[in-house]
Structure 1
Amino acid sequence: MTIKVVRGNPTPEELAAALAVVRARAAAAADMPSGAPGPRDSWSDPARIAARPVPRPGPSAWARTYWPA
């Protein structure tokens, strides 16, 4: 694997930190079984959207839907 810096001029410390992250992610990916799904991202969890019930419209809800021009 080759890593190439395309822009900027990182210091040796910045480059070492970036490579440490890449190596840690690669090691974690190698430890996971190939058939198992990865950890689920909380942003894509449908339960996050429907965490609380949606209120039902009241008797005058139709009046709040009008937007005067």
Structure 2
Amino acid sequence: MIKVLRGNPTPEELAAALAVVQARATAAASADTGGPRDVSEWSDPARTVQRRTPHPGPLAWRTSYWPV
């Protein structure tokens, strides 16, 4: 229920305001999926960042002194 507290809107103004409220409510309802998004590692921007630490593994100590 929507109640006009101040002013005297015309029917056109009231219809425009209600259309905006309804559009925002519909957009918010469709945007809320509630579940995790399925994102592949290929599109993850973190994969393009160069690592400053050696990759973990038994021979990581060999590359620990290499310049980055």
TM-score by length of 1: 0.47
TM-score by length of 2: 0.47
Select the structure with the greater relative contact order (CA < 8 A; seq sep ≥ 6): 2
